[in-house]
A and B are shown apart, each in its own frame.
Chain A
Amino acid sequence: MHVSLAHFLVVGALLFCFGLVTVATRRNGVGVLMGVELILNAANLNLVAFNHYVVGGVSGQVFALFVIVLAAAEAAVGLAIVLAIFQTFKSIDVRAADALRE
């Protein structure tokens, strides 16, 4: 079976949807961050696939590498926020951090 661009895009779309659902439904702050990682990786997959099938060269791969690095930084910041939330609300449930409500 020939693996085409469409296969990659479908996998990417699935990954994005999983990530989105994870972010939207997870009560755990760390879980939400993991969902964000899934979304970023779905984007990375698309970048690499389009580079391979449409553009050629290495620019897509390099772009994906940068995204991975940024994701690591983002995860670090995100985890720090989760830690701060925990210290403040004694919980990492994202519903607990609703001090800005009303």
Chain B
Amino acid sequence: MEHATRELAPILVHQVSYLWLIPAFPLLGSVINALFGWQFERAGKKKLVHVVAIGAMVCALAVAVRAFLQMYGMDAEHRFLQDTLWNLLTAGRLTVDLAFALDPLSMMMVLIITFIGTLIHVFSVGYMWDDVEAYWRFFTWLNLFVFSMLLLVMGDNFAVMFFGWEGVGLCSYGLISYYYKDKEKAVAGMKAFIANRFGDFGFIVGMLLLFWGLGGGWGAMLGARGAAYEPTGSMNTVASASTASESKALAPQVEVGEGKVVKIGPTLNFRELRDQVVIEKTGVMEHLKEQKLWGIGLLALIGVFLFVGAMGKSAQIPLYVWLPDAMAGPTPVSALIHAATMVTAGVYMVARLNFLFALAPSAMGWVALIGAVTAIFAASIGFFQYDIKKVLAYSTVSQLGFMFIGVGVGAYWAGTYHLLTHAFFKATLFLGSGSVILGCHHEQDMRKMGGLSKYMPVTRWTYLIACWAIAGFPWASGFYSKDEILWKAYTARHLELFGVATPWLGPVIYLVGIIAATGTAFYMFRSYYMTFSGTYRGGAGHHDEHDEDPHAALAAPHHATSAHPRDGAMHAIAKAQEEAAHVAHGHDAHGHAAHDDHAGHGHHGGTPHESPLSITFVLTVLAAGAVLVSLLGIPTAWTHAAPILEHWLEPVLVAEVPFAEKPQWMEFLFQAIGVGAGVVGWAAARALYKDDAQHEALEAFKQRFFAAWTVVYNKYYVDEAYQKVVLAPALAFARLMSWIDSNVIDWLVNAAGAVTRLVANFDGLIDKYLVDGAVTAVANLTLESGRGLRRFQTGRVQTYLYGIMAGALVLVLFNFVIR
């Protein structure tokens, strides 16, 4: 579908003064809980902790809704609310403000974050109440995370966004390592943090390249770049300014008609960047397109580096490895951070900079390709996982891949829409799994579950609805977003890879995507049937078999190669700790009505139970949301009007990406294929896993392709590969450096010290004998001469008279002699 060429004008800013409240409330909540939370708990007012946290979230949500209503009442072109707090930095033409901006895209993100964030806070009350760790610490981090995430999406410029970008990484680390006494979980936090650092490096590089490409530079480099870029004649002059207004006056501006001017040149501000790039009159777009760095188009390079940042934050190949491990955090954290919000930051960033990515087909092709590979790769790992949260983690990685296919092929609104629908259904799934884990007494292994639909009806139904959504069945939201993405991928013909046009890439990505979608339906329904159908497999004594390795029964020799025994052992330790914790604080401490029913049976041997109201309520709301958001994206083919969300995002997603025109029946056909893929995956899962089916075909398959199965089961040994390829060399290098440090560097330092001492001693000698000697000699000379001369000063006038007479005599004699 070809976009009509739009005449683009600069964004009209509407200043409002309350936007800062949105991030301020969670920050305030976080600060209160950080400072006083432990006192609340000690004083027996544990409730106050979550009252503060949820109160902050509700306030933020209220302000966000207020902003939405204001924005909704405005014309589409005017939907840009800005709130500038203060100036952070002024240097030359560059000014960076602490400013928040809301346009339709960030408005959507803010609503997702505050709405789902609030719900997950409520859920956390039920989930974390019995926790023996510091309750207040959890809510402090959770609120702080929401604050950072809001900064990330609301930031008016790269600086504020980057602050949020780093902040969410930090909070993610703090929450994954929440049970920091368990070393495995602490390490998972570190892994997430370090993997994110790699991405952040790419983000910074991309950001600075963009800054440089726009004409920012450091004096000496200016001449090196072509001189063609002189739209106002004074682009490359370096001038100084100390205040924001001076800086504004320095910035070169271009008249773009109707009396409007656009500031051009290096900037970190999204609005200024967008204005100068999308308005052709400024000439910035041509300039950026022409620029090359090391023979590569600068725009492609910027796109790729920014995408590296997105890879880290949004868990794409090869930096996805941290996300599955991040499941070590409490389940609400997985739902909020590692499904609904933080991991979508990369998608958000690409959508925010859509006008830049659209200029670089190579970068787009790269993004879409990585997204597609990630989608199918992670989906295949999800097939054979037994930990319910791990399945969801790989599913998240896979779904993020879908989002990147969307934003990669240029269907920015579709990628963003998938972000929205995914936020709902994946939050439902994660919270559902949290409810299951709670109901099964902190059991995460799906082999120990089964038959839960009897015990947990609400959880079951919400989980099922979310499975429908993610599998892409009509009338549940995933269908609309996923099919839109795949359809756009199929019709994309403009993608390039490394500067080579690759019109085949779109259809290939479509094929990969549809296979991944089939896989998605399969593993999601697999998890559903393993968990909720059949009979309950948990119960007394199940801890004994906890260390069971899935290979052990099949092939003992493989036991040694598997990474699993270690995991099992770790798991057992964690289990034992949990058990101890539960025993320690007794069952009555639960305090929930829902728990009362198993007062009579032992905690671990007991039947599963439905979760408290705070959890089921949240699940219901989110599941309803997972269905209702589908209304926002009913495809054009059905209604002959742009989907509501596409229309809403139109002012932001200005990039014009050409898609091939295809007949409408084809779009319907592709939707049917999408549904078919979901059905195939569902049918396969149903046949293989429903009602505890121990299918012989499955076992036979496993036996037959045991090598392949092992590889997939062990997640393609990617972690081990990282261990060998990245970690081991890094550690070896570190050891080498340590050796060099202690032997070579220290030796050099010592040698330098010794030489310095030698020189100093020599210098001291010179000082002592030569310089001091000279000084003393002068003093002594003066003293001696004074001692000699003072005899002449007798104080007697007559002596002096002799002198006068002698002098006169000498003068007279001279007079005679000279004559």
Contact = CB atoms under 8 A, between A and B. Distances in A.
Asked if A pairs with B, the answer is: yes
Interface of A: 20, 23-25, 32, 94-95, 97-102
B798 A24 contact: yes
A100 B795 contact: yes
A65 to B, nearest CB: 28
Given A20-B805, A24-B798, A94-B797, 12 more contacts: A23-B798, A32-B797, A32-B798, A95-B796, A95-B798, A97-B795, A98-B794, A98-B796, A99-B795, A100-B793, A101-B795, A101-B796
Contacts of A99: 795
A32 B800 CA distance: 14
Given A20-B805, A24-B805, A101 B797 contact: no
B798 A98 contact: no
Nearest to A101: B795
Contact of A94 (B790, B796, B802, B805): B796
Given A24-B802, A24-B805, A102 B790 contact: yes
Contacts of A101: 793-796
Interface string B405-425: 000000000000000000000
Interface of B: 790, 793-798, 801-802, 805
A24 B801 contact: yes
Contacts of A94: 796-798
A22 to B, nearest CB: 11
Contacts of B801: 23-24
A95 B794 CA distance: 9
Contacts of B796: 94-95, 98, 101
Given A20-B805, A24-B805, A102 B793 contact: yes
B794 to A, nearest CB: 6
A98 B805 contact: no
Contacts of B805: 20, 24
19 contacts: A20-B805, A23-B798, A24-B798, A24-B801, A24-B802, A24-B805, A32-B798, A94-B796, A94-B797, A95-B798, A97-B795, A98-B794, A99-B795, A100-B793, A100-B795, A101-B794, A102-B790, A102-B793, A102-B795
A100 B795 CA distance: 5
Nearest to A26: B798
A94 B801 CA distance: 13
A61 to B, nearest CB: 28
- The majority secondary structure among interface residues of chain B is helix
Nearest to B797: A94
A15 B805 CA distance: 16
Nearest to A23: B801
Contacts of B797: 32, 94
Contacts of B793: 100-102
Contacts of B802: 24
B569 to A, nearest CB: 101
The 10 A-B residue pairs whose C-beta atoms are closest, nearest first, are A101-B795, A98-B795, A100-B795, A24-B801, A102-B790, A24-B798, A98-B796, A101-B794, A95-B796, A102-B793
A24 B802 CA distance: 7
A40 to B, nearest CB: 16
A101 B790 CA distance: 9
A81 to B, nearest CB: 11
Contacts of B790: 102
B804 to A, nearest CB: 10
A102 B799 CA distance: 14
Contacts of A32: 797-798
Nearest to A100: B795
Contacts of A24: 798, 801-802, 805
B696 to A, nearest CB: 129
Nearest to A98: B795
A98 B802 CA distance: 16
A32 B237 CA distance: 91
Nearest to B794: A101
A101 B798 CA distance: 13
A100 B793 CA distance: 8
A29 B795 CA distance: 15
A95 B798 CA distance: 8
A15 B794 CA distance: 28
Nearest to A25: B798
Contacts of B798: 23-25, 32, 94-95
A20 B806 CA distance: 13
A97 B794 CA distance: 10
A20 B793 CA distance: 21
A25 B798 CA distance: 7
A32 B795 CA distance: 16
Contacts of A98: 794-796
B679 to A, nearest CB: 125
A94 B164 CA distance: 100
A102 B796 CA distance: 11
Contacts of A100: 793, 795
Nearest to B791: A102
A24 to B, nearest CB: 5
A86 B677 CA distance: 138
Nearest to A20: B805
A98 B793 CA distance: 10
A34 B567 CA distance: 128
A24 B806 CA distance: 12
Contacts of B795: 97-102
Contacts of A23: 798, 801
A101 B795 CA distance: 4
A25 B796 CA distance: 12
A7 to B, nearest CB: 22
A20 B794 CA distance: 20
A24 B797 CA distance: 9
A97 B797 CA distance: 9
B363 to A, nearest CB: 96
B153 to A, nearest CB: 93
Contacts of A97: 795
A43 to B, nearest CB: 15
Nearest to B798: A24
Contacts of A25: 798
B725 to A, nearest CB: 93
A95 to B, nearest CB: 6
B62 to A, nearest CB: 99
A32 B796 CA distance: 13
Most buried by A among B794, B798, B802, B805: B798
Nearest to A29: B797
A102 B805 CA distance: 22
Contacts of B794: 98, 101
A98 B795 CA distance: 4
Nearest to B801: A24
Contacts of A20: 805
Nearest to A95: B796
A98 B799 CA distance: 11
A102 to B, nearest CB: 5
A72 B790 CA distance: 36
A23 B801 CA distance: 9
A20 B798 CA distance: 10
A91 to B, nearest CB: 13
A82 B702 CA distance: 139
A98 B798 CA distance: 11
A97 B796 CA distance: 7
Nearest to A27: B798
A32 B801 CA distance: 12
A1 to B, nearest CB: 30
A100 B805 CA distance: 21
Nearest to A99: B795
